Structure 1
Amino acid sequence: MTSTLGNVTPYLVILVIVATLGPLQFGFHLAELNAPQDVITCQQKKAASGFKDKLMSLASKGGSAASLDCIPMSPASFAAISAIFTAGGLIGALAAGPLTSRRGRRLPMQLTAALYLLGSVIETFAASVPVMILARSLTGMGAGASTVIVPLYISEVAPPAKRGFFGAFTQISINVGILFTQTLGYFLSHDSAWRWIFGTGVIIAVAQAFGLVIIPESPSWLANVKGDAAHARRALQRIRGKHINIDEEVEAWGAGDGKPPGERERLLPEDDGGVAETGTGLLSPSAASARSQKAHLGFVQVVSDPLYRPAIVAVVGIMFAQQLCGINSIIMYSVSLLKDLLPISSAVLTIVISIINLGITIAASPLPDRLGRKTCLLTSIIGQGSSSLALALSIMFGFKILSAVTVLLFVAFFAVGLGPVPFIMASELVGPEAVGATQSWALGASYIATFLVAYLFPIVNEALNKALGGAGWVYFIFTGFALLWTIFITRNVPETNGKRDADEVWGRARRTD
């Protein structure tokens, strides 16, 4: 870790921290209903152990809805509140790609902060199911957009040799958010104190909004889309440090090097329109038009273009593999799955699993740059498939301790590759002109796959257990999926580590447009 962080400026670290507050809130809101579910839905009212909800007391004086200790609702209503977050995420992910391509990375991140803030405020004072659904849909849209924009932004500000390491911070921040909200839930799941969980989301959103004021626009976007290579070069130099040579990175932009006028324009031929590209980074009309067309490839355009279709197939497959290998069967249903396996409360058990997931993700963050993206993906999938097989057999034969250990291995293998790497790959498999739309395809696939596992796992698990007798049969399905995705990634996903751009990744002649 120390060697990986060598030559990294404090300014870059600040940028990554601020940017990853978006994915952190994704994890935070994803898990915020887990611990306080029974209290929120009026099924249980745990006595407060000396913790006074001051905000709710003040609100209750005016008869505010916030004075309610719970919101009466049926299991179906609670399921709707939970599921709407995923639906909002899908909308946010699909909308973020085109917006990011056209308006840059900074403005869309600011919009996600606004969505998080508004949704969290509404959640904190909600007194009915429809209001909670509205709030969760807003935070879901912010989450979906964040998981498209932030990995892209990080890949464009991180040094090329360290993109895998910094790319892992998207998944790390999601895990931090999950662990944070589950810990809050352990202490605040009583009376009306659970509203402080949602109130904490307001604080995080405000911190993100203020932090985004100081971060710059992506240098790559400034050069390749806006055509302002001089501005892009200054921004990149500040991120890398005054004494770092950035010429190789600037050359990869293909939009001018941003050097002073006169130094380049003597060397550049005139284009077909008779206007040379100048050192100011401004493109000639014909070149600017061509680049603008390339820069704004839409959601449908990238999949219909044979040049980009293999990348879309690859990223969609990776995202489906991330979910269909079964991680959310553990993250979302570990309480019921393991409640009889260990002498520990379900809330504490959930926190332990989150700690392990976070710890392994941090420890493994240098691996994508050292071993390669594809190697980490295959290691992760094979490890999860083996763990699924062992978990199925241990549950069937009643080896309780082995079942618990296997679950921890299952989560650990996920953290090695399938957790962080998919967020890196989408930005490396295509050029800047298609990366926004590709990220939308990737995250759209992720949210669809997440919904499928979240909704179908308990149904399929119960059906198989009744039909075949015993328990654990569903993990044979996840073992089969692991074998399927191992074959898919071996055949369809190229290695991107150490490659200069998407053309080199796919073995194409480098484009000059």
Structure 2
Amino acid sequence: MSDAKYSLVVAMLTAGGLVGALSASYVSDRFGRRLALFGTAILMGIGSVIMTFAVNTATLMAGRFVAGLGSGIVTVVVPAYIAECVPKASRGFFGTLNQLAIVVGILVAQGVGMAWSTLAAWRSILAIGIVLAIAQLLLLPFCVDSPRHLASIPGGLNSAKASLLRLRGPPMELVEAEVNEWRNEQMGGGEEDQQTHVATVVESERPKINVVRLLSTAQYRRPLLIILLLQLTQQFSGINAVIFYSTSIMSAVFPESSDLITVYISVVNLLMTIVSAYLMDRVGRRTLFLVSSSMMAVMSILLGWSIEAAGQDKISAAAIIGFVAAFAIGLGPIPFLMIPELVDTPAVSSAGSVGLACNMVSNFVVSAGFLGLRDIIGQDGVFYLFGFILVVMTCLAVYILPETKGRSADEVIRSNWAIHSPQHYQPVRTPPTTTTEV
């Protein structure tokens, strides 16, 4: 296979992912989070079957495109699904577990690839995708539908309560209290309202927000700006370029382990993602993001200097490890974790679609442009540039990135995306379109 064909095969997964990301909002809102996940398992299973039994390059590309469709949708749906199912105080921890699962998957895939990347066994690597798809199809029936999504559908209140009861367990009074808390968040009500209307819950009839409406509605401009800031910072930090360049640098420091370099980097990523899961609900998203981006800026500049100075392989290796570690505690999990915390339930899927599309396009730009830019300004210059971008993005985040830890999306929205939760603000009351007596 020529380099051009190989590049096209690789790119087909990203192309499918982009299409999947843009369609994820419709699929997720039309069929619900759980059914959408059933669909993604089927798509990724079919894609894996096509790739496993591919007889030519065109078939292999088709399989990667179909698998990419499922990957794009699932990347949007899962963060929203998790955020809508877990208690508010635990969103950060469970949201980071999603990133941890991705990192573990990468590490396992690298290990399997090292063992089975032979002419006799390469199809077995692709067949693992079939096994994983079947496992997901078998396990999803034990998962509940998103209670908050159900509550946002006219007539879905009782289903939402039943779903929440399965998640939280008895007594039913606690389930009623949590659903009533959602109602008060949507209405901007206080304690008096909660006591007066404890048996009355809003069933929202607000229309679902598609991508076009999200992009064209003034009220979503601020959260879109924040979401784009998070996604662009993640990719234009140069994380993929650093990992790409790490092999040649680390090979000079550890020549006997050159084939294990990417595995070592993934282990660092895994360990620091575990640390991030512990810190997310204790320190907060905003703080971790600022610490992460600041440390990555320092490490990127240090890496550029060590390359420019020459003969500083150990410093380069330390900078790469520090860069990946800093990425894992903040910029890795936060961009997608925060999306359900910045927009209301009807707009979550569309916001996730826009965020992932931006992420994938910027990822392509960095990956495709790295080598050409390196030839123009040098390898040290590229990492100086990444460091400068990180400094600029960090400064922007200081002024516009809100802290969402312990705050509902409705509270963040009503505070006009204030950096911190106002101590004494009077929320704007939005009367419900309909109410249903329970």
TM-score by length of 1: 0.76
Structure 1 equivalent of residue 101 of structure 2: 173
2:140 is equivalent to residue 212 of structure 1: yes
Matches within 5 A, 1:212-251: 212-243=140-171, 245-251=174-180
Relative distance call for 1:505 and 1:499 in structure 2 (3 A) is: farther
Relative distance call for 1:145 and 1:175 in structure 2 (3 A) is: same
Matches within 5 A, 1:11-22: none
Check the 8 A contact 1:464/1:474 in 2, yes or no: yes
Check the 8 A contact 1:342/1:404 in 2, yes or no: no
Structure 1 equivalent of residue 408 of structure 2: 500
Distance 2:283 2:253 in 1: 36
Instruction: Give per-residue Cα distances to partners, 1:206-256, cap 9 Å, x unaligned.
Output: 101111122111000111124321221121122122248234431243299
Distance 1:304 1:106 in 2: 28
State the 1:295 CA deviation: 3.7
Relative distance call for 1:401 and 1:433 in structure 2 (3 A) is: same
Instruction: Give per-residue Cα distances to partners, 1:262-288, cap 9 Å, x unaligned.
Output: xxxxx77xxxxxxxxx97x795xxxxx
Residue from 477, 484, 494 that aligns with 2:392: 484
Relative distance call for 1:282 and 1:426 in structure 2 (3 A) is: closer
Distance 2:429 2:106 in 1: 42
2:39 is equivalent to residue 111 of structure 1: yes
Structure 2 equivalent of residue 511 of structure 1: 430
Q: Aligned-pair RMSD on alpha carbons?
A: 2.3
Structure 1 equivalent of residue 334 of structure 2: 421
Q: Which protein shows a greater Rg?
A: 1
Check the 8 A contact 1:353/1:408 in 2, yes or no: yes
Q: Which runs of 5+ in 1 are unaligned?
A: 1-72, 258-266, 269-277, 284-290, 466-470
Instruction: Give per-residue Cα distances to partners, 1:450-496, cap 9 Å, x unaligned.
Output: 1111111122123322xxxxx42210010011011102212222111
Residue from 254, 259, 267 that aligns with 2:183: 254
State the 1:424 CA deviation: 1.2
Structure 2 equivalent of residue 318 of structure 1: 230
Instruction: Give per-residue Cα distances to partners, 1:413-437, cap 9 Å, x unaligned.
Output: 0011001111111101011121111
Equivalent AA in structure 2 for residue 477 of structure 1: L
State the 1:511 CA deviation: 3.2
Structure 2 equivalent of residue 363 of structure 1: 275
State the 1:337 CA deviation: 4.6
State the 1:341 CA deviation: 3.6
Residue from 237, 240, 244 that aligns with 1:328: 240
Matches within 5 A, 1:363-402: 363-397=275-309, 398-402=311-315
Distance 1:371 1:193 in 2: 45
Distance 2:347 2:15 in 1: 24
Relative distance call for 1:307 and 1:156 in structure 2 (3 A) is: same
Check the 8 A contact 1:117/1:202 in 2, yes or no: yes
Check the 8 A contact 2:43/2:70 in 1, yes or no: yes
Equivalent AA in structure 1 for residue 9 of structure 2: I
Return structure 1 stretches of 4+ with deviation > 6 angstroms: none
Equivalent AA in structure 2 for residue 473 of structure 1: G
State the 1:512 CA deviation: 3.3
Distance 1:193 1:358 in 2: 27
Structure 2 equivalent of residue 91 of structure 1: 19
Q: 3-state SS of the aligned residue for 1:356? A: helix
Distance 1:142 1:390 in 2: 38
Equivalent AA in structure 1 for residue 395 of structure 2: I
Distance 1:309 1:252 in 2: 27
Instruction: Give per-residue Cα distances to partners, 1:35-93, cap 9 Å, x unaligned.
Output: xxxxxxxxxxxxxxxxxxxxxxxxxxxxxxxxxxxxxx100111111111111111111
Check the 8 A contact 2:21/2:73 in 1, yes or no: yes
Instruction: Give per-residue Cα distances to partners, 1:308-347, cap 9 Å, x unaligned.
Output: 1111111111011011111111334432454334213433
Distance 1:256 1:502 in 2: 6
Relative distance call for 1:193 and 1:342 in structure 2 (3 A) is: same
Equivalent AA in structure 2 for residue 118 of structure 1: I
Check the 8 A contact 2:161/2:176 in 1, yes or no: no
Equivalent AA in structure 2 for residue 245 of structure 1: L
Equivalent AA in structure 2 for residue 172 of structure 1: L
Alignment size in residue pairs: 411
Distance 2:70 2:245 in 1: 25
Check the 8 A contact 1:91/1:144 in 2, yes or no: yes
Structure 1 equivalent of residue 216 of structure 2: 304
Distance 1:426 1:282 in 2: 23
Relative distance call for 1:150 and 1:387 in structure 2 (3 A) is: same
Equivalent AA in structure 1 for residue 307 of structure 2: I
Q: 3-state SS of the aligned residue for 1:417? A: helix
Distance 1:80 1:282 in 2: 50
* Greater helix share, structure number: 2
State the 1:443 CA deviation: 0.8
2:383 is equivalent to residue 475 of structure 1: yes
The higher-RCO structure (CA 8 Å, 6+ apart) is 2
Distance 1:104 1:394 in 2: 50
Structure 2 equivalent of residue 431 of structure 1: 344
Matches within 5 A, 1:27-42: none
Q: 3-state SS of the aligned residue for 1:227? A: coil
Equivalent AA in structure 2 for residue 483 of structure 1: V
Q: Which runs of 5+ in 2 are unaligned?
A: 187-195, 417-427, 433-438
Structure 2 equivalent of residue 62 of structure 1: none
Equivalent AA in structure 1 for residue 305 of structure 2: L
Distance 2:4 2:227 in 1: 33
Check the 8 A contact 1:341/1:403 in 2, yes or no: no
2:333 is equivalent to residue 404 of structure 1: no
Percent identity between matched residues is 35
TM-score by length of 2: 0.89
2:129 is equivalent to residue 201 of structure 1: yes
State the 1:502 CA deviation: 2.9
State the 1:385 CA deviation: 0.4
Equivalent AA in structure 1 for residue 58 of structure 2: P
Q: 3-state SS of the aligned residue for 1:172? A: helix
Distance 2:181 2:243 in 1: 40
Q: 3-state SS of the aligned residue for 1:365? A: helix
